[in-house]
Amino acid sequence: MAYPFYADYIPNGYKVPHPTQPGQFWRGVGHVDEAGSGPRNVFGADFEALSKMHNIEDNFWKKHLCAKDSDGDGLTNGQELGDPNCKWTKGSQPAGAAQSHPGFA
């Protein structure tokens, strides 16, 4: 089962677009299952691997995950989640709305 508080560590974490249902949100951002259980998608795998190497409370998003293109679609995770310049910090307002899901190309 997913831990919903992880959404606090990414911009627009509670409003990540569903990859196949416009206007809907994907609650389990790092998982293949939209409810957040089961295997991780590529974004979730990157989040997990990087969080084991770096302090999640130390600008984790900005330093380690934002500029990465987890799903290989040509857009950085930051571009997909509304932080194209990788300036967002936990608790602040993102530059824009999330445009797509970083775990599915």
Q: What is the pLDDT of residue 2?
A: 57
Q: Tens of pLDDT along 54-82?
A: 887 777 898 889 999 999 999 999 999 99
- pLDDT score, position 76: 97
**Tokens at 97, concatenated:** 């709305």
- Residue 44: which residues within 8 A CB-CB, separation 6 or more? 29, 30, 31, 103
Q: Is the pLDDT of residue 35 over 70?
A: yes
The answer to whether residue 94 scores a pLDDT higher than 90 is yes
pLDDT tens digits, residue range 2-13? 577 889 999 999
